[in-house]
Amino acid sequence: MPSRRDVLRLGAGALTAGVAGCSEAPTGQEDTATTDGTATATATTTQSGDESVYTEVYRESIDSVVLVRADSGQGTGWVFDDSVVVTNEHVVGPADEADVRFSNGRWREGTVLGTDANSDLAAIQVANRPEDATPLSLADEEPVVGQEVVAIGNPFALSGSATAGVVSGTDRAIPAPTGYRIPDAVQTDAAVNPGNSGGPLMSLDSEVVAVINSGGGDNIGFGISAALTERVVPSLVENGDYQHAYVGLSFTAVTPTVAAANGLDEARGLLVRSVDPNGPSAGVLQGSDDTAFVDGQQARVGGDVVLSVAGTAVQTFEDLLSLLALRTSPGDVVTVEFLRDGERRTAEVELGVRSQN
The answer to whether 67 and 174 are in contact (CB under 8 A) is: no
Rg (C-alpha) for the chain, rounded Å, is 22
Instruction: Tell me how far the alpha carbon of residue 294 is from its chain's centroid.
Output: 37
What is the pTM (predicted TM-score) of this model? 0.86
Same domain, 192 and 64: yes
The answer to whether 135 and 126 are in contact (CB under 8 A) is: no
With bands split at pLDDT 50, 70 and 90, how would you rate the model's confidence at 39?
very low
Q: Which one, of 151, 161, 166, lies nearest residue 211 by Cα?
A: 151
pLDDT digit string, tens, across residues 333-357 = 999 999 999 899 999 999 999 987 6
The domain boundary, picked from 189, 210, 238, lies at 238
Q: How far apart are CA 63 and CA 82, in angstroms?
A: 13
Same domain, 202 and 329: no
What helix, strand, coil percent values describe the chain, rounded to 5?
Answer: 15, 40, 45
Q: Any bridge partners for residue 312, and if so which? A: 309
pLDDT at 214: 84
Same domain, 90 and 185: yes
Same domain, 260 and 140: no
Q: How far apart are CA 136 and CA 200, in angstroms?
A: 9
> Looking at residue 28, which CATH number applies to its domain?
2.40.10.120
pLDDT at 10 over 90: no
Q: Which one, of 288, 32, 51, lies nearest residue 154 by Cα?
A: 32
With bands split at pLDDT 50, 70 and 90, how would you rate the model's confidence at 22?
low
pLDDT digit string, tens, across residues 191-225 = 999 999 999 999 999 999 999 998 766 789 999 99
Same domain, 159 and 18: yes
Question: Quick count: other Cβ atoms within 10 Å of Cβ 14?
Answer: 8
> Looking at residue 280, which CATH number applies to its domain?
2.30.42.10
The domain boundary, picked from 238, 267, 301, lies at 238
Q: Quick one: average pLDDT of 17-33?
A: 44
Determine the structural domain holding residue 318 and report its residue range. Answer: 245-353
pLDDT digit string, tens, across residues 234-261 = 999 999 999 999 999 999 999 999 999 9
Mean pLDDT of the chain: 87
Same domain, 223 and 168: yes
Burial 276-294, CB ≥16 within 10 A → b, else e: eeebbbeebbbbbeeeeeb
Same domain, 22 and 170: yes
The domain boundary, picked from 186, 219, 238, lies at 238
Same domain, 147 and 272: no
Number of domains in the chain: 2
Same domain, 218 and 269: no
pLDDT at 357: 67
3-state secondary structure of 5: helix
Pairing of strands 181-188, 161-175: antiparallel
Same domain, 146 and 32: yes
Same domain, 216 and 268: no
With bands split at pLDDT 50, 70 and 90, how would you rate the model's confidence at 33?
very low
Same domain, 136 and 228: yes
Residues known to be catalytic = 90, 120, 197
